Amino acid sequence: MKAMINFAASALFALSLAACGQPTAKVGKTVTSGTADIGGDYTLTNQDGDTVTQTAAFGKPQLIYFGFSYCPDICPTALQKMGAAQARIDPAGDKLNYLFISVDPERDTAESLKLYVTANGFPEGLQGLTGTQEQVDVAKSAFKVYSQKVPTPDSAADYTVDHSDIIYLMDKDGKFVEFFHGKSTVPEMAARINMHLKTGK
């Protein structure tokens, strides 16, 4: 099974690069991972200003998405899918931990994430995490996430951020279980997460 998982992870990382507001972004120009060894410790700050480490999310399975709040399309779509999956399998929002980790700490302050995480359709209880660039880089590296600032001279914002478009399902001990990407549907996600909730696998 390991080899298959490794292959799947590789393919995923090659295919799931997303460009927020950059339809011409080159796919596959970046690092791919040959391993499903995903996850690891990080220290970040949540939308309430509290320090959060990876272990703080232990005890429940977790859905984790890396993105940035200025993202016009890819991130909101992914977070709304997460919210729609939650509505099917965890309507009270207490069976899983839902995490959004910013890849744009320059603009995503804890304070600004406080409003962002409450956006319509996002999961109940979504936590928004940010930190220093170094702290964010540690988290990105642990989850093999790619992101890259891209200047946008013609836009009001100075830059956008190309980034991986992956929702990670981690188990209650922080071990990698599964990933979902742009083409994963809400019913598929809900079914897979539900199976994990029932079987731990």
Q: How far apart are alpha carbons 187 and 191 in whole angstroms?
A: 6
Tokens of 122: 């996002």
Q: Which stretch binds Ni ion (CB under 5 A): 12-20, 33-41, 43-51, 176-184?
A: 12-20
Count the residues of the shown chain that bind Ni ion, applying the rule CB under 5 A: 5
Cβ–Cβ under 8 Å, residues 42 and 170: no
For Ni ion, the closer CB: 61 or 68? 68
User: Min. distance of Cβ 33 from Ni ion in angstroms?
Assistant: 19
User: Min. distance of Cβ 143 from Ni ion in angstroms?
Assistant: 15
Q: Which residue lies nearest Ni ion, judged by its C-beta?
A: 71
For Ni ion, the closer CB: 42 or 70? 70
What does residue 75 show for φ and ψ, rounded to 5 degrees? -65, -50
For Ni ion, the closer CB: 22 or 194? 22
Amino acid at 192: R
By CB under 5 A, tell whether 128 contacts Ni ion.
no
For Ni ion, the closer CB: 74 or 126? 74
For Ni ion, the closer CB: 36 or 145? 145
User: Min. distance of Cβ 88 from Ni ion in angstroms?
Assistant: 23
User: Min. distance of Cβ 98 from Ni ion in angstroms?
Assistant: 16
For Ni ion, the closer CB: 101 or 193? 101
Q: Which sign, positive or negative, has the C-alpha torsion 58, 4, 191, 197? A: negative
User: Min. distance of Cβ 130 from Ni ion in angstroms?
Assistant: 14
Map the footprint of Ni ion across residues 19-78, applying CB under 5 A. 20, 67, 71, 74-75
Map the footprint of Ni ion across residues 75-94, applying CB under 5 A. 75
Chain positions contacting Ni ion, by CB under 5 A: 20, 67, 71, 74-75
